[in-house]
Amino acid sequence: MADEGLRPIIVKRIKKGGGGHHGGAWKIAYADFVTAMMAFFLLMWLLGSTAKGDLNGIAEYFKTPLKVAMAGGSGSGDANTVLPGGGKDLTRQDGQLRRGENDVVTRKQTLKSAQEEVERAERVRLENLKQKLEKAIDSNPTLKQFKNQLLLDITSEGLRIQIVDEKNRPMFALASAQLQPYTKDILHEIGRALNDVPNKLSLSGHTDATPYSRGEKGYSNWELSADRANASRRELIVGGMDESKVLRVVGLSSAVLLDKEDPFNPINRRISIIVMNKKAEELVEKDSGSLNVSTDAEVQQGLSVPATPN
């Protein structure tokens, strides 16, 4: 009966939770946030260091990814782009620019632009020289009376100055390289003006088709045209032109006629002075063998004469 008075001992165990915010769930969320931020900054870095062409390729890829993958898009096959493929052969970069070629293309484009700018500046300089000569002719009473015999035009090789004969007013004595006094005055005036530009000169002499009595076997129009061109060179220098400006002196006889309809027209007897642009100078200096001179294609089929001292 004594045992009936005893009560059983009951032990209650309280199971505590995970500690609320002191648990580890927040660490997973923080790791996700850091990963997202890292991806964001990587994206910003890639966008900042990617060329414009590559960005256009990426944009096109995400607009029509299948089309770009199959046919290639603008910049998609460039070796510098982050997207592989492009071109007809998706395993290669067929027809696409490789690394370094973009820089070469850019340099070529820059060089071409610079060259075009130099050519424009040179053309302006020659146009100014042409205007200056025209003003000198109009303001000089001696030269003004020969205005019809002075032909000035801009060609693909530079400024061309032609001094032509008239029926009753030749530049040279008949069948001779002896200059008339007024021809010397014209050349002296031109010679002074030509020092205003750094360009080199090419001189060519021309005759009409009237042959010598001995034909081409003896002293002919070839020798005469060359002698007249060289005589003109000497008078330009007497007028004050720097003698180092002359690169070439040639005689073309009647091979290049100004009046093709009438080979005997006095206008075919002329001296042509070309103030050459840089491209024409390089052709002569490299001894290319030809120099296409504007409308008449004055080629080096004439008799070349070295620039001898005065």
How confident is the prediction for the chain on average, in pLDDT?
A: 77
Q: Is the dihedral of CA 138, 140, 144, 147 positive or negative?
A: negative
pLDDT for the residue numbered 245 = 92
Mean pLDDT over 22-42 rounds to 85
pLDDT for the residue numbered 15 = 62
pLDDT for the residue numbered 296 = 41
d(CA 29, CA 45): 25
Q: In a 3-state reduction of DSSP, which class is residue 162?
A: strand
pLDDT for the residue numbered 133 = 85
Express as a percent the part of the chain with pLDDT over 90.
Answer: 30
pLDDT for the residue numbered 120 = 85
Question: What DSSP string describes 35-92?
Answer: HHHHHHHHHHHHHHHS-HHHHHHHHHHHHSHHHHHHH--TTTT-TTSSS---SS-TTT
More confident residue, 51 or 230: 230
- Is the model's pLDDT at 299 over the cut of 70? no
- Is the model's pLDDT at 10 over the cut of 70? yes
Q: Are 248 and 203 in contact (CB under 8 A)?
A: yes
pLDDT digits (tens, 9 = 90+) for 245-283: 999 999 999 999 999 999 999 999 999 999 998 888 888
**Predicted structure pTM score:** 0.57
pLDDT digits (tens, 9 = 90+) for 146-184: 888 999 999 888 999 999 998 788 999 888 999 999 899
More confident residue, 291 or 50: 50
pLDDT digits (tens, 9 = 90+) for 41-89: 888 887 777 777 677 777 776 766 555 555 555 544 444 444 444 444 5
Nearest of 118, 177, 186, 176 to residue 152 by alpha carbon: 186
